[in-house]
C-alpha cells in the first residue's frame, strides 16, 4: 500500500468561547497557514503500529490497549466507528506547525488529520459529517466536554456560526478580514480551564450565566456585522467579549497588554481566543496597518505573530 498523507488546519474563535460549552452560539474561522499532517505507511511483515512525532520527540510502538494514550484512543475511536476489529501494522508520522496548548486548535487538527489519514489508508471515503463525528469523539476523550466547535471549523474549513448540537451554519463575510494572532508564549490546557469555569459556574451560577448570556448576544450581533463587513463594529464587539472573558478570570496581564497594544496601534478590536489563561490574542486589523501592529505586538512580548486573511467568497484564502 502506498503512503498516504492528510492535513488539517488550525483555527481561532472570534466570539463565544466557553459560553459555547453551555449552548450559546460561537463564531470560529479556520487558519489554513498552520496545520498538522499525518502520514500513514504500511509496515509489511510487522504486527504493531509505530508512532513517530519528531516535534514531541516521540518514536515508539503503540500499545493499543493503553487507553490513556491519545494515539491509542484516537485509533480505537476510528476503529469502532468503522466497525473493524483490527488495524494493520502501520507507521504514523506526525508533523505540525500549530503551537500546542495555545488555543489555535492543535488537538482538533490532530483529531481531524489522523481520522482523515487512517480512514483513507484503509480505503474508506468518509463524508465530512462522518469525519467530523469521529473527530468529535476523539476530542471528547481528550477534553471531557468539548462543545465541538474546534473539530467542526477544522473539518469544514469555513467561517462558522456554531451552536452545540445544532447543524453548523456557514458565514459569508461581507469584507475580507485581516487577523493577527499574537502568541503570548504562555501555554494553557483547555480541559483544565474548562473545568475551572464549570466549577465557577456551579458556585456562582447567576453571575456566570449573566456573562454567558451577554457573550451569546454579542456573538449573534457579531455574525450580522461580519456579514455586513462592518469591521469597526466587529472590533468593538471583540473588545466587549474580551472584557467579559476577563470578568470570568480568563485573561492574564500579558493577554490584556497584547489587546491594549493592538488597540493603541490601530486595530479595530482584539480579544483573547480559545480557552484563555494563556495562548493567543486575536486582533482584527486594517490590512495597511498590519505590519506596524505586528511589530508593536512583538515589542510588547508576543512570542510570535501569525497574520491570516479571511476572504469573502469561500471564507478562506
Ligand atoms: O481549544 P481552545 O483552547 O481553542 O478552546 C476551545 C474553546 C472552548 O469554548 C473553551 C471549549 C469548547 O469546547 O468549546
Share of the chain above pLDDT 70, in %: 97
Task: Provide the 10 A C-beta neighbour count for residue 203.
Answer: 9
pLDDT for residue 317: 41
Q: Looking at ligand 1, which atom is closest to the CA of residue 108?
A: 1
Q: Looking at ligand 1, which atom is closest to the CA of residue 17?
A: 9
Report pTM.
Answer: 0.95
Q: Please name every residue paired with 250 in a beta bridge, in sequence order, or none if there are none.
A: none
Residue in the block written with cell 467579559: 244
| Predicted confidence (pLDDT) per residue in 63-107, tens digit | 777 777 899 999 999 999 999 998 999 999 999 999 988 899 999
- The grid coordinates listed for 308 are 491570516
d(CA 223, CA 229): 10
| Predicted confidence (pLDDT) per residue in 270-296, tens digit | 999 999 999 999 999 999 999 999 999
d(CA 262, CA 57): 35
Top mutation candidate among 136, 190, 251 for ligand 1, by most atoms within 8 Å of CB: 190
| Predicted confidence (pLDDT) per residue in 161-187, tens digit | 999 999 999 999 999 999 999 999 999
**Of 287, 311, 31, which is closest to residue 181 (Cα–Cα)?**
31
Output the CA–CA distances (angstroms, integers) from residue 236 to 133, 159, 219, in the order listed. 34, 19, 12
Amino acid at each position: 500500500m502506498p503512503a498516504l498523507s492528510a492535513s488539517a488546519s488550525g483555527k481561532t474563535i472570534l466570539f463565544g468561547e466557553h459560553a459555547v460549552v453551555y449552548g450559546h452560539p460561537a463564531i470560529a474561522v479556520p487558519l489554513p497557514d498552520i496545520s498538522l499532517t499525518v502520514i500513514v505507511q504500511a509496515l509489511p511483515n510487522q504486527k504493531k503500529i509505530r508512532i513517530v512525532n519528531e516535534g514531541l520527540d516521540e518514536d515508539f510502538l503503540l500499545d493499543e490497549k493503553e487507553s490513556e494514550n491519545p494515539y491509542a484512543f484516537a485509533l480505537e475511536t476510528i476503529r469502532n466507528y468503522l466497525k473493524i476489529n483490527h488495524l494493520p501494522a502501520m507507521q504514523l508520522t506526525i508533523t505540525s506547525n500549530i503551537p500546542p496548548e495555545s488555543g489555535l486548535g492543535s488537538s482538533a487538527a490532530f483529531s481531524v488529520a489522523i481520522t482523515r489519514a487512517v480512514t483513507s489508508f484503509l480505503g474508506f471515503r468518509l463524508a465530512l459529517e462522518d469525519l467530523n463525528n469521529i473527530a468529535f469523539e476523539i476530542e471528547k476523550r481528550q477534553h471531557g466536554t468539548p462543545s465541538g466547535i474546534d473539530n467542526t471549523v477544522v473539518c469544514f474549513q469555513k467561517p462558522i456560526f456554531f451552536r452545540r448540537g445544532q447543524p453548523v451554519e456557514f458565514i459569508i463575510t461581507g469584507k475580507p478580514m485581516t487577523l493577527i494572532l499574537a502568541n503570548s508564549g504562555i501555554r494553557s490546557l483547555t480541559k483544565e480551564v474548562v473545568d475551572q469555569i464549570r466549577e465557577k459556574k456551579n458556585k456562582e451560577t447567576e453571575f456566570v450565566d449573566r456573562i454567558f448570556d451577554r457573550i451569546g448576544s454579542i456573538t449573534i450581533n457579531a455574525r450580522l456585522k461580519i456579514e455586513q463587513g462592518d469591521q469597526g463594529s466587529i472590533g468593538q464587539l471583540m473588545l466587549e467579549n474580551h472584557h467579559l472573558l476577563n470578568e470570568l478570570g480568563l485573561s492574564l496581564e500579558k493577554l490584556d497588554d497584547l489587546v491594549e497594544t493592538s488597540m493603541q496601534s490601530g486595530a479595530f478590536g482584539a480579544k483573547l481566543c480559545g480557552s484563555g489563561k494563556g495562548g493567543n490574542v486575536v486582533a482584527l486589523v486594517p490590512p495597511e496597518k498590519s505590519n506596524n501592529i505586528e511589530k508593536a505586538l512583538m515589542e510588547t512580548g508576543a512570542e510570535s505573530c501569525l497574520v491570516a486573511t479571511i476572504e469573502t467568497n469561500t471564507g478562506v484564502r
